[in-house]
């Protein structure tokens, strides 16, 4: 694809100065948790960690991507807040939070202007 794109197309494709950042989560739950406990954890996670910080989660019980609800990027502070929330939970024995990355094109490097 051509690299000389109009501003409108760059915005539509979320590239260059319109790059949007997010991060990945990998969770490992305690062995003895039943489905009801995992569902309760996920409800709390979506309410307390995601909605309260203007974030959205796409994925399953144990793996997913966190991005901003509105157009734009997740900040490092939001990422750190989610990470500390997860590490404070008893249901989770392991929570891996990736560094910020391109939410649309994960293989691309982060632009300094993003």
Residue 1 within any structural domain of the chain: no
- Percentage helix, strand, coil for the chain under 3-state DSSP, each rounded to 5: 35, 25, 40
User: Which tens digit of pLDDT belongs to each residue from 15-25?
Assistant: 999 999 999 99
CATH code where residue 45 lies: 3.30.70.60
Q: How many domains does the chain have?
A: 1
- In 3D space, the residue among 21, 14, 111, 18 whose CA is nearest the CA of residue 66 turns out to be 21
Residue 63 located in a structural domain: yes
Two tokens, residue 35: 């489905």
Q: In terms of pTM, does the model score above 0.85?
A: yes
- Give CA 7 to chain center in angstroms: 26
In a domain, 56, yes or no: yes
d(CA 35, CA 22): 28
pLDDT digits (tens, 9 = 90+) for 37-82: 999 999 999 999 999 999 999 999 889 999 999 999 999 999 999 9
Question: What pLDDT, on a 0 to 100 scale, did the predictor assign at position 43?
Answer: 96
Q: Which domain holds residue 48?
A: 21-102
Residue reference for tokens 């910020």: 100
What DSSP assignment string belongs to 29-84? E-TT--HHHHHHHHHHIIIIIIGGGTEEEEE-SSEEEEEESSSS---HHHHHHHHH
Confidence band (pLDDT; 50, 70, 90) for 3?
A: confident
């Amino acid at each position: 694809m051509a690299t000389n794109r109009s501003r409108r197309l760059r915005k539509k494709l979320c590239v260059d100065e319109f790059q949007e950042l997010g991060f990945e989560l990998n969770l490992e739950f305690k062995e003895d948790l039943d489905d009801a406990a995992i569902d309760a954890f996920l409800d709390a996670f979506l309410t307390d960690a995601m909605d309260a910080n203007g974030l959205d989660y796409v994925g399953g019980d144990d793996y997913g991507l966190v991005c901003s609800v509105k157009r734009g990027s997740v900040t490092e502070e939001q990422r750190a807040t989610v990470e500390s929330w997860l590490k404070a939970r008893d249901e989770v024995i392991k929570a891996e939070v990736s560094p910020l990355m391109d939410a649309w094109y994960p293989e691309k490097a982060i632009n300094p202007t993003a």
